[in-house]
Amino acid sequence: MNRIAIELDEKLRTLDERRAAELARRVKEAIVAADVYEPPFINPNIDPMLGVENGWPVGYFASTAGMFADEPFARDDQGVAEERDDW
């Protein structure tokens, strides 16, 4: 018997019949629930309340990927930086 089973047995012996029956019922429900429970996958990077993933709307990058694939990107001449006075 493991420690939880020993503690449960000890507790059931100290309770009156009605409370012991209620505890036994709850334990049986927990056993059934443990057999059918599958925890949901929770991505720690997504906040379901805000609908954001790492600070961006969920699906943002998937929806914008390739949007500028046909655009030519070239850097124009940057010119000369302005001269500033010394402090």
- The more confidently predicted of residues 35 and 21 is 21
Lowest mean pLDDT among 24-28, 38-42, 77-81: 38-42
E strand or H helix that includes residue 65: none
Q: Report residue 33 as tokens.
A: 């629930």
**What integer pLDDT is reported at residue 60 of this predicted model?**
79
| 36-71: pLDDT as tens digits | 767 677 777 777 667 777 777 777 778 888 888 888
Residue 17 has pLDDT above 80, yes or no: yes
Q: Judge whether 52 and 58 are in contact, CB under 8 Å.
A: yes
Tell me the three-class secondary structure of 26-65, residue by residue: HHHHHHHHHHHCCCCCCCCCEECCCCEECCEECCHHHHHC
